[in-house]
Structure 1
């Protein structure tokens, strides 16, 4: 049984004639007759009485008629649905700052994508000032970035607090102390990330106290700084989350005078779109301490 045979049958019922039915469905009468004969064979019942008074429904044909109409209706609806253009996926352009906990970021994005497969995310990693400019120009919809200042014309949702500690090579003379004072860092070898969010506050603190560390290395990422510290090149001020995962490779100590922490979260301009609101709702319930599913796992 195929849909053409159903169409032939319904055409005969509606016109009352094999000849008129063939004209309606644009096939020859022998083709139409053969199709209906094959339908009757497949169903095991005669559907039409081919007497001299025209084509009339048999009792079996009358029982089959409503089912045939349903089958034809479903076929028509299926074709119409499949021919419609697929709805465009919702797009969300998200910027995120350098130095975020990678597993936390991956868990946030992976969990959101799993919960909302109809949203296509485009990401950009960049320093906080670059993200702020792109927000102002409308080139991204939201940014996962610092929320400390500069948000007067933006909306924001705080998600985590980033704190900092002093990282030291395991063999450093200060490594096994419980804490260290700022003046003990004078002339110590340091490695830095010039664009790091903590740099302005740490430079101001060191300069105001007359402490002059020796800068012996620069890097583009906190992970690279950590590797330089582990190699014994120098000390660094790094986020606590990064040092927590490297306790066996580098020492870390609190620096009492450095009371810097940064609020990190989502920032956007104007009213949040429906797509962005989905991310805000998900991010608000997300735990950075216990990351969710990781992208690709």
Structure 2
């Protein structure tokens, strides 16, 4: 059994749905189904019962879920310990494409002071994956923003940022002091690709299905507004180019800045503790 396949199985077992698990893992459903079938062949037991309503775990599946979680956690800890013994400890941090933040700079300074021998590897990700590769096992910890599906993750809120509508500066609504989502009804929005985390999509699409250009990165969002006159949302703390404006939204909850993780290694625990302190400063 490969660790990657066990991660796939844990995702399906926690989501109880192949489609949702595939979205969580940022992969298509057919290879995920093949991997689970191969895992069942390897262990010699049926692990999941598939139906139109979703998935249920067999007794063997329940047992493997507990064992898989323990194995994956042990593998994460082993990786840190082996790297430390080799004198080359590493921590891979996922950062969302819009997460340039003074709090992150303070965190980087604090982490370097406390762990001078640890190499921090940064994986910058686009807006289609708010977990920054955490679910796929590509990073150890994610410094990101919500809301997103937190199933199977541990999430600690660091701060909450008010959100506004981003518009062309010459848009009739750009001069308003405040807007509501109803003010934007009928407008084209920039939107995220199909398969993007549904909780994330619902928030940044203002709670409704939207029509408009598909974007993956912050700059693509801004260019969609500039070139097409579409609208969208962004945190008020961000400064768009001078030909764009951000107007506060009165009826949308703030977007939380969070740190998220799955493992329990000492480097991850220290990162979370230092993040909480850095974002309080």
Q: Distance in 1 between matches of 2:243 and 2:124?
A: 27
Q: Which runs of 5+ in 2 are unaligned?
A: 1-84
Contact 1:190–1:236 (Cα < 8 Å) also in 2: yes
Deviation, structure 1 residue 104: 4.5
RMSD: 3.4
Q: CA separation of 1:105/1:227 partners in 2, compared to 1, >3 Å: closer, same or farther?
A: farther
Contact 2:167–2:231 (Cα < 8 Å) also in 1: yes
Contact 2:189–2:232 (Cα < 8 Å) also in 1: yes
Q: CA separation of 1:240/1:206 partners in 2, compared to 1, >3 Å: closer, same or farther?
A: same
Contact 2:134–2:141 (Cα < 8 Å) also in 1: no
Q: Are 2:281 and 1:279 equivalent residues in the alignment? A: no
Contact 1:222–1:238 (Cα < 8 Å) also in 2: no
Q: Which residue is 1:254 aligned to?
A: 248
Contact 1:187–1:214 (Cα < 8 Å) also in 2: no
Q: Which residue is 2:94 aligned to?
A: 95
Deviation, structure 1 residue 167: 0.9
Q: Distance in 1 between matches of 2:185 and 2:266?
A: 52
3-state SS in 1 of match to 2:189: strand
Contact 1:191–1:234 (Cα < 8 Å) also in 2: yes
Contact 1:147–1:267 (Cα < 8 Å) also in 2: no
Q: Which residue is 1:236 aligned to?
A: 232
1:7-52, Cα deviation, whole Å (9 max, x unpaired) = xxxxxxxxxxxxxxxxxxxxxxxxxxxxxxxxxxxxxxxxxxxxxx
Q: Which residue is 2:29 aligned to?
A: none
Aligned length: 191
Contact 2:191–2:205 (Cα < 8 Å) also in 1: no
1:112-144, Cα deviation, whole Å (9 max, x unpaired) = 235532111122233135634224xxx532222
Contact 1:193–1:222 (Cα < 8 Å) also in 2: no
Q: Which runs of 5+ in 1 are unaligned?
A: 1-85, 208-212, 291-297
1:189-244, Cα deviation, whole Å (9 max, x unpaired) = 4333444875313546345xxxxx651x33221233124434563222112222xx
Computing the radius of gyration from Cα coordinates, the structure with the larger value is: 1
Q: Distance in 1 between matches of 2:150 and 2:244?
A: 36
Q: Which residue is 1:160 aligned to?
A: 159
1:75-94, Cα deviation, whole Å (9 max, x unpaired) = xxxxxxxxxxx960321122
Contact 2:94–2:134 (Cα < 8 Å) also in 1: no
